[in-house]
Amino acid sequence: MKNFKFATTLTICAAVLLSGCAQNTDAVTPAGASEQVQSTQAENLRTNETWAKAAEKGMSAAFGTLHNAGESKLELERVTDLSANTVIEIHDTEGQGTKAAMKQHEGALLINPGEDVVLAPGGTHFMFMDLKSPLVASQTSTLQLEFSDGSKTQVQFPIRNFSGANESYHGSADEHEDHGSH
Amino acid sequence: MTSANLHPSRRVILGGSAAAALGGVFAGFGVGRATADEIPEALAVENPHTQFAAFHGKYQAGILTEPQAHAVFLGSNVHFDGLKKSERIEKIRSILQMLSSDIERLVSGRGVLADTEPEMSHAAAQLTVTVGLGPVILDLLGQSAAEVGALPPFTGEKLDPRYGQSDLIIQCCAQDPTVLHHAVRALRKNLRGITEELFTQTGFTHAAQTVREGQGFRNLFGQLDGTNNPTGQARELAVFGDDQDPSWSPAGTVLVLRRIEMNLDKWDEVDRTGRDFALGRRQSDGSPLSGDSLSDPVDLQAVNAMGLPAIAAHAHVARAKPSSGAEVLWRRGYNYHAENGSGLIFASYQRDPRTSFIPVQQRLAQLDALNEWTTHVGSAIYAILPGVREGEYLGEFLFTAST
Ligand code: HEM
Ligand SMILES: [Cu+2]
């Protein structure tokens, strides 16, 4: 599905795409990105198919594909919720089926040059830890992605209804008992 | 998995513009359309039933489009409880943004975001999804239009609120029922929690290619329906008007949706002569009683061997025949068969129902030989939104004006 072979056309394509879609989850080049001397990590990030799972309260998660269009690695250190200020953690999921459990990702999330990290139900994801306001389908959640070089970029996560992604959380046990789904 | 239609690829079938081609290269990022890798391109293009319909355009798809074999009309009401006016407007806006994204993806063969079965939309089945707003929503947006006013009551109707007016209408049509129902489910899933469904009306005509395009369909009375529908430019004019005289909005139109129950058991008792007499056309080949082939005109002056009018004055076509250009409407109906009855999902598109649907239906309600076997049980009217260009969402212009 992912197609990053056409790196040379990327910039042009991004320009075409920037005219925007209704809810643009397509690749977006952060403002100012170009062939200049050294791009920041944020400028080398491309995102695709981003979305967040609707939820009233408790936990939820955001998914999508993160692509490194640059020549050096991206280290995503922090994700912050600009829309509602909910604490966001980067999680991995271990195990499968009913045994699937997730835990916080250790260190920064690494994206090697030219590669993708796919955030998906049952895999790595951005976790809304305790929603400060509901994530309502049809609305959009804006998350800020912050990298190890201090650069940051904002990414839109259109909110959609989704019944899956119910892995349990093996964090601090007390906190998450009643947040069965996310 | 070798079946061609199951593979989305980056090959682009739509127009030849550079932007589209680039978009195709970039389809991993969501602009191109899924297409059949293994199917020879020529075949995919030549068969009108295995294509993807375009989403962007002057008009929304699914209006002038020759009716696909299957349709679902989804009527839903928006949850507004406790919201201020500005929040209500914002809610409509976000719903239209989401629908635009969902529709663009579905009609190009990709599932919606968060789709759990995106494979079900890969087959090119000429899916179209057409969106309209009820009068209450137009009012809310400060766009009230006389063309989209509530319909007056008509003699003889027995309206069931189950099939009544809703805030939103989503008309989904496709040649393939499986693709269609996946699209409907995907759209509904995303609307869950923000809207409440009033009705789902499912309709059908004929499997693609079993009837010649533009020849109408057999309704459940067995009649050829759609013969005297406007075609080509006449259809476009009847539906959208022109620059001087557009509908409620340029490139927008009005949908009248009536659910008409047909009493098939009683109709069974009527012989051929009685049936043809009531319609004014022959069930056999659809020809008018004033002629002998399908393409002959409905001539109300024509007399038969006994010197009587060939088409009775109260025959359906005699009463329905438009008395002027302003009365012309484009009927894009579907048969339905449900647990509680069978009939016609009468869907007509017209520039202004006040000059077309309303006077015609008033005439029919007053006198139409077919009324003996038909009952209108559902009724609603919608402002159908204009088409959008790439980068726009449906109805976007309504918000720049009101906020
Ligand atoms: C269950 C109800 C109905 C049935 C079974 C029915 C059936 C038909 C049939 C078989 C024809 C002849 C073929 C054709 O030209 O399409 C026809 C013509 C037509 N019908 Fe209906 N119809 C129904 C309701 C309506 C309604 C509600 C309207 C509009 C208010 C309408 C408007 C027309 C018009 C305008 C024509 C074409 C007349 C002409 O110019 O020759 N029909 N209908
Ligand atoms: Cu998690």
| A86-129 residue pLDDT tens | 999 999 998 877 778 899 999 999 999 999 999 999 999 999 99
Between chains, do A22 and B97 touch, taking CB under 8 Å as contact?
A: yes
Which is more confidently placed, B171 or A165?
B171
Are the C-beta atoms of residues B51 and B23 closer than 8 Å to each other? no
Q: Is residue B242 helix, strand or coil?
A: coil
| A122-178 residue pLDDT tens | 999 999 999 999 999 999 999 999 999 999 999 999 999 998 777 776 654 334 433
> Is B202's pLDDT higher than 80?
yes
Q: How confident is the model at residue B25 (pLDDT cuts 50, 70, 90)?
A: very low
pLDDT of residue A13: 32
**Closest Cβ–Cβ partner in B22, B91, B391 for A13:** B22
The answer to which of B35-44, B71-80, B230-239, B364-373 has the lowest mean pLDDT is: B35-44
DSSP H helical ranges for B70-199: 85-107, 135-140, 177-191
pLDDT of residue B330: 98
- The CATH number of residue A125's host domain is 2.60.40.1890
Are the C-beta atoms of residues B290 and B298 closer than 8 Å to each other? yes
Average pLDDT over residues B26-47: 40
Separation between Cα atoms, residue B358 and residue B352, nearest integer Å: 9
> Is A81's pLDDT higher than 90?
yes
Per domain, the residue ranges of chain B are: 1-46, 47-402
DSSP state of B402: H
The DSSP-derived string for A104-146 is EPPSSEEE-TT-EEEE-TTSSEEEE-S-SS-B-TTSEEEEEEE
Q: How confident is the model at residue A37 (pLDDT cuts 50, 70, 90)?
A: low
Q: How confident is the model at residue B33 (pLDDT cuts 50, 70, 90)?
A: very low
The answer to which of B108-112, B153-157, B317-321, B374-378 has the lowest mean pLDDT is: B108-112
> Is A80's pLDDT higher than 60?
yes
On chain A, the residues whose CB falls within 8 A of the CB of B19 are 16
Range of A164's domain? 2-179
Between chains, do B29 and A26 touch, taking CB under 8 Å as contact?
A: yes
Output the furthest CA–CA distance in chain A (Å, rounded): 50
Average pLDDT over residues B250-265: 98
| B273-302 residue pLDDT tens | 999 999 999 999 999 999 999 999 999 999
> Is B31's pLDDT higher than 80?
no
- Exposed/middle/buried for residue B108 (C-beta within 10 Å: 0-12, 13-18, 19+): buried
**Distance in Å, CA B276 to ligand 1 centroid:** 13
> Is B10's pLDDT higher than 70?
no
Residues with CB under 6 A from ligand 1: B 216, 219, 221, 223-229, 258, 260, 262, 279, 281, 298, 316-317, 320-322, 343-344, 346, 357, 360-361, 364, 370, 374
